[in-house]
Amino acid sequence: MAEPYAYVGGPRLLDGYRVRAQSWQGSLRAYLAEGTGSFVLTLVCGGSWCVEAVFGGLGVTGVALSQGLALVALGLIFGHVSGGQFNPALTVAMVVVRRQAPLHGLGYVLAQLAGAAAAGGALLLLFGRYDLAAAPPFLGAPRLAPELTPLEGMGIEALLTFLWVSSVFATQIDPRGKRAFAPVAAGIALLLAVLWGGQLTGAAVNPARAFGTALGAQLWTAHHAFWIGPLLGGLAAAGFYELLLGGRPFPGSAELPGAEPS
């Protein structure tokens, strides 16, 4: 049987909150990977909307491709180090369904938020001269279409995040899936989310990405929708997969990439 909290990517965690003594270096590498990945992802996600606003030529399709391909690249670069989460909605879901230890998950979330916050500052430096922090697209900070209520926006974000987190569970976490295709599946899911929801909510599907760009632009209108929606969507996707697996441990998870040898 797989040991508790054995996790795809990053150091293997055992006995609840206790990290193996020899895995602290792996934990630091994983946190650095999550922070760096979150920085780049937030920079590309916000920057793609800014580039479209200043120079044109991308359109929603180009913006979606930019974000999806960035996630594919980051997953390939950092997936073997940290699992390539870059998203608190996924990390929290992993912790709740006991696929990641709570303290390790907290380290991931803090790293993700720090990276996204740094990206918000970088976006302000790059595009503040075009007055894009105080006017659309507000450094790419997600915002609701005028016709939407916060509750409707929350529902859209939850639905899009459900799709994205499901793609991760189906490929990277479930050993029956094709783990080599996990970054591609996650990137395609994000691409589809932006194509469908980009003009409705900005299709953040990621509280860290929403936080970083909102911090740079100081745009906090209905910001809670971009936390509650993705967190609920991620939890729903994780719960759905738990039901599919019948609550059984993922077979072979102790041998997943990035696990420390016994």
Q: pLDDT tens digit string along 25-40?
A: 788 999 999 999 999 9
Which of the residue ranges 58-67, 112-121, 163-172, 241-250 would you say has the lowest mean pLDDT? Answer: 241-250
The helix/strand/coil state of 77 is helix
At position 152, the amino acid (one-letter code) is E
- 112 pLDDT above the threshold of 70: yes
**CB under 8 Å to 97, separation ≥6 — which residues?**
238, 239, 241, 242
pLDDT of residue 256: 38
The C-alpha atoms of residue 72 and residue 189 are separated, in whole angstroms, by 10
User: Per the omega criterion (within 30 degrees of 0), is the bond before 207 cis?
Assistant: no
- 4 pLDDT above the threshold of 80: no
**CB under 8 Å to 225, separation ≥6 — which residues?**
144, 150, 151, 153, 154, 157, 201
- 124 pLDDT above the threshold of 90: yes
**CB under 8 Å to 216, separation ≥6 — which residues?**
46, 119, 120, 121, 122, 123, 124, 133, 139, 141
Contact assessment for residue 162 and residue 237, using Cβ atoms and an 8 Å cutoff: yes
The C-alpha atoms of residue 220 and residue 121 are separated, in whole angstroms, by 16
Third-level CATH fold of 27-248: Glycerol uptake facilitator protein (1.20.1080)
pLDDT of residue 22: 40
- 173 pLDDT above the threshold of 70: yes
pLDDT of residue 246: 53
The helix/strand/coil state of 19 is strand
Residue 48 to residues 70, 100, 128, 254, 257: CA-CA distances in angstroms? 11, 32, 14, 38, 32
Which of the residue ranges 116-120, 206-210, 228-232, 252-256 would you say has the lowest mean pLDDT? Answer: 252-256
Listed residue (187, 146, 232) closest to 45, CA to CA: 187
Listed residue (103, 116, 122) closest to 207, CA to CA: 116
The helix/strand/coil state of 13 is strand
> 18 vs 159, which has greater pLDDT?
159
Confidence tier at 249 by pLDDT (50, 70, 90): low
> Taking the model in full, what pTM does it have?
0.85
> 52 vs 252, which has greater pLDDT?
52
Percentage of the chain with pLDDT > 70? Answer: 85
